[in-house]
Structure 1
Amino acid sequence: MTEPLAPLESVAWLCVRDGRLLAVRTQGRDVFYLPGGKLEPGESGPQALARELAEELGVRADPRELTPAFVIEDEAHGQGGRPLRMTCFTGPATGELRPAREIAELDWFLASDQDARRGAPALRQVLARLAANGTVAG
């Protein structure tokens, strides 16, 4: 019998401006994700997210100002059925958003079907949740 795959633990940043959610596309992928990534050994969620934002988007966030919002559980896109457990955070960041390292593109998503279809399953869950509470426009 095959052992179940351990969940991929990740962190994500909920950056909403003018009713739109920031999403990123990594090089070689055709769908969008939330900015963030995996934790390195010994890192807390806020520390990992601050590091990822600096590396991938060129912005600075103070881990002490990043607040957990909710957790999304889904299948990790492109990971062979591995479950995903993504802790979403809110909080400020300073600097100009710009794609760096493996990030190929930034975009601002509405909760519309047209935008949601361009996102990974976990991003679609987040869009639906933020639309339901009025944070992201439809």
Structure 2
Amino acid sequence: MSTSVIRIAAALLIGPDGRTLLVRKRGTRAFMQPGGKIEAHEQPVQALTRELDEELGLAIDPTQARYLGAFSAPAANEPGFVVEAQVFLLSIDAPVSPAAEIEEVRWIDPAGDGGLLLAPLTGEAILPFYRTTCLATC
């Protein structure tokens, strides 16, 4: 039995106070990095730019997105699927508001989970990577 893969671009958004932004999609419980599926004609950073605008009303300069790497984990909302994410680090100092399929946004200290249910990709891969690698060097 093969596992189906969902290819996404995701952002580790860091605010001026060092907190990171997580989002929760409408009708779901787990919080995750903002971002979304990479369309066939897109490079990951292009998909990220489009998704951040659609989901948060956030216009970014794609040249400021620092590539952190590829991460994978079981999908939070699609049983039997694995999410393969191209993850980018961005520092932002702009207001965001949930739009499209995003129901809620939360800023949390990346050293913890903010008391939230986290998607596997966020809780098991991206935030641990950030804590061990980026807090000192990114």
Instruction: Give the alignment's TM-score, normalised by structure 2.
Output: 0.84
**Structure of higher CA gyration radius:** 1
Unaligned runs of 5+ in 1: none
Bigger shift: residues 91-100 or 74-83: 91-100
- Which structure 2 residues correspond to residues 48-67 of structure 1 after superposition, within 5 A? 48-67=47-66
Residue 95 of structure 1: how far off its partner (Å): 4.5
- Which structure 2 residues correspond to residues 40-55 of structure 1 after superposition, within 5 A? 40-55=39-54
- Which structure 2 residues correspond to residues 1-138 of structure 1 after superposition, within 5 A? 2=1, 4-17=2-15, 18-91=17-90, 95-110=94-109, 111-112=111-112, 114-115=113-114, 117-124=116-123, 125-133=125-133, 135=135
Residue 65 of structure 1: how far off its partner (Å): 2.9
What RMSD over aligned residues (CA atoms) do the two structures have, in Å?
2.1
What is the number of residues matched between the two proteins? 133
- Contact 1:13-1:49 within 8 A present in 2 as well: yes
Q: Quick one: which amino acid aligns to residue 75 of structure 2?
A: A
- Contact 1:116-1:123 within 8 A present in 2 as well: no
Q: Quick one: which amino acid aligns to residue 71 of structure 1?
A: A
Q: Tell me how far apart the structure 2 counterparts of residues 116 and 86 of structure 1 sit (CA, whole Å).
A: 24
Aligned to 1:108, what secondary structure does the other structure show?
strand
Q: Tell me how far apart the structure 2 counterparts of residues 132 and 94 of structure 1 sit (CA, whole Å).
A: 24
Deviation digits for residues 6-34 of structure 1, max 9, x if unmatched?
32110101111223211001111111010
Residue 40 of structure 1: how far off its partner (Å): 1.4
Aligned to 1:77, what secondary structure does the other structure show?
coil
Aligned to 1:91, what secondary structure does the other structure show?
strand
